[in-house]
Structure 1
């Protein structure tokens, strides 16, 4: 496996398998064609044809849309179509920063192909002029990529939460980083990907942050999502990435970005151009 394979993996969605989900004419998500057939069983909520799934126009408010689609999602969950109900709301947005069109149960977001947003933070230490990266190992009970390697801090942005607020919350819960130290994290851009994972569409944007940590800082996980942490040399990180899929799929993208931005990967790398350009590939 090579580094570029991680990017290809996260840009692998075959959109011919999906129909756009439209709310007042705007694309709110993408629905697998077989799921669209099931959604046709809710004609007071959704209209379905060969070109699109459309939310009925009479569902014109945030609350009416949220309630109607929430009932549909609950039915499909109880029928075993998808799993992992979390009782956590995510916004349905056509553009980040716009007013949400409705809310949706987090576990239903991939089924509806809704654009999700999250924060991913690289926590690093500077030692004798070299950078080392804190790497977490996901707990074996995680519903997505159990046991895979992860960031020091990462999480989805739920309804009503800002990016910085989400980052501070995840810093505290995932690594016991105090608020004053978390506030030193610096934004380092955003990455977008669209892939099929566990049978559903992951259609996500990640807001990337870097945080330089004191040499004597040791992260401690509080929410049970991370089983352990290890401070790694960047050569080891690159070697693990090049060897296979030990890193969680989207974490691999952010770590490759980190290696490029901090000069560990240089233009002498045979895939440098494809890596650098591929990370910022954007599809509407």
Structure 2
């Protein structure tokens, strides 16, 4: 398989079988004016199989309260399609009940907490994460203001954008470059024992991107904060629509990257149990890993390919798909629209 195909295969939005299973997720806010209107705010999308799981649980345990917590679409909402249409005539609504003195962001967050608790109750997720992800409106350029926050473990089930930061520590000797890779610990819930760049971490809502790089570098690799602050160089942002192998948890994944050249005697140390070991890999090994290998966490094929392009290992004269690879590494977010005809919910 060509490198271009490997990268394109990371993009779930190219798969009709995946896209056709999703409908939009909206925050439905009750307003207290004389017209008794409602405000709907798009925040993401949800897999229709998950809706049926939630429906069964709500109908079993919350027959009288479900409508005050969630708006569930009617069961017959799958539209037969052979194209990647973005328009749906159903949506999944999270009801926002706000008291007169409560900040709107807090009321929205409370609605998302109810959703998270339902995922726990249905055993869709097994535990809560210590980090929270920001919720924004994907229909607004740049995503606009933060509307609320949601637990990191629940966020993928709402199609919330996932942001990761990556620090790539490399050694350069004459015309050769090598990169420190980190093997994920055996107890990681996802992609255990596969390999990441030197430092990789999710981005919480509570801190800046570079501050998170510094924090993760110290926690995962034992790298002093002053070394990162002084030497790390921002190198860009990659974007993909990723999902699990079964098509669930489709979301936009943004990977912000930093390079940091380190001396020959630099050795990262596994500090917090997230990493099993580190390995210094040659450019030849890295190129094999992105083109043919199976060691890298799938999404990290994207990040390591970008590193190899940046350092001239994968170059236009040697890679006939060079321009298409660059385009494929910056995939537009798929945002579903909905036709509001009063049919969205039960």
TM-score greater than 0.5 by the shorter chain? yes
Normalising by structure 2, what TM-score? 0.76
Structure 1 SS opposite 2:115 = helix
Instruction: Tell me the distance in 2 between the aligned counterparts of 1:137 and 1:68.
Output: 37
- Residue equivalent to 2:280: 231
**Quick check: 2:109–2:148 contact (8 Å CA) kept in 1?**
yes
1:189 to 195, 217, 236: 236
Does the 8 Å CA contact 1:10/1:250 hold for their aligned counterparts? Answer: yes
> Which of residues 101, 105, 115 in structure 2 aligns to 1:62?
105
| Aligned equivalent of 2:9 | 9
Q: What is the correspondence of 1:17-36 to structure 2 with a 5 Å cutoff?
A: 17-23=21-27, 24-36=39-51
Matched, 1:155 2:201: yes
Q: What is the alpha-carbon distance in structure 2 between the residues aligned to residue 116 and residue 221 of structure 1?
A: 25
Residue 26 and residue 259 in structure 1: after superposition, are their counterparts in 2 closer, same or farther (change >3 A)? Answer: farther
Q: Give the ranges of 4+ consecutive aligned residues of structure 1 lying more than 3 Å apart after TM superposition.
A: 37-42, 57-60, 95-99
Larger CA deviation: 163-172 vs 245-254 = 245-254
Which protein is bigger by CA-based radius of gyration? 2
Unaligned runs of 5+ in 1: none
Q: 116-125 or 93-102: which moved more?
A: 93-102
**Could you say if the C-alpha distance between residues 237 and 130 of structure 1 is closer, same or farther in structure 2, counting changes exceeding 3 Å?**
same
Change (3 A) 1:93 1:245: farther
Structure 2, unmatched stretches of 5+, are: 28-38, 59-65, 78-89, 335-346
TM-score, normalising length from structure 1? 0.92
Quick check: 1:39–1:46 contact (8 Å CA) kept in 2? no
> Residue in 2 aligned with 1:130?
176
TM-superposed CA distance for 1:279, in Å, is 0.7
CA RMSD of aligned residues (A): 2.0
Q: 1:256 to 1:26 in 2, by over 3 A?
A: farther
**Which residue does 1:256 correspond to in 2?**
305
Contact 1:120 1:206 in 2 (8 A): yes
8 Å contact kept, 1:193–1:203 = yes
Distance 1:91 1:108, change over 3 A: same
Across the two proteins, how many residue pairs are aligned to each other? 284
* 1:179 Cα deviation after fit: 1.2
